[in-house]
Amino acid sequence: MPTSKMLQKSGIKLAAASASDSSFMRVLARRAYAIYVERIGKESAPITFDYAAIAASGDALLAWSDDQLVGMLITRVEDAALHIHNLAVSPDVQGLGLGSALLIEAEQLARRAGSDELRLYTNEAMLENLTFYRRRGYQETHRDIEDGFCRVYFIKRLEPAT
């Protein structure tokens, strides 16, 4: 699997999640989304995901720095698009490019799956995420309240591979 320059330089390794990784995934989600609990007024959806089922599904790509889980990308192809269900980065390495590198991996996954678009949503209270996705070429499509969360939906159409 080709990796971004950031991953090559940092020594961070990507691996598909296995069943034994679910507890690490749960801890990472809690750490990555902790700053949003007060803003939203409750735990954000990714904190409550069933990580045992996700790890077993083959839909998660994990970023490891030595024995520390520092990032995860959970995707699934639905309706001919690659949906990003969760992109989480440890607070210890936020701002260093890991989130962007994982989005590049998502684009590669989409292409391998025969899709030319990525879709995701984030909470409107996660202002940093709104800026992050817009800067990476994602365009807001709509907003909706779903499961009690005010969500902002995004899409990115991929250029044909060269």
Contact 86, 113 (CB under 8 A): no
Higher pLDDT, residue 7 or 109: 109
In order of their start, the domains of the chain are 5-116 (3.40.630.30)
Query: How many percent of the chain have pLDDT more than 70?
Result: 93
Mean pLDDT over each residue of the chain, to the nearest integer: 93
Contact 119, 111 (CB under 8 A): no
Per-residue pLDDT, 1: 46
pLDDT digits (tens, 9 = 90+) for 11-64: 899 999 999 999 999 999 999 999 999 999 999 999 999 999 999 999 999 999
pLDDT digits (tens, 9 = 90+) for 82-127: 999 999 999 999 999 999 999 999 999 999 999 999 999 999 999 9
pTM, two decimals, is 0.92
Tokens of 85: 């269900």
Contact 130, 124 (CB under 8 A): yes
Residue type at position 73:
L
Mean pLDDT calculated for residue range 137-141: 98
Q: Which of the four pLDDT bands, split at 50, 70 and 90, describes residue 144?
A: very high
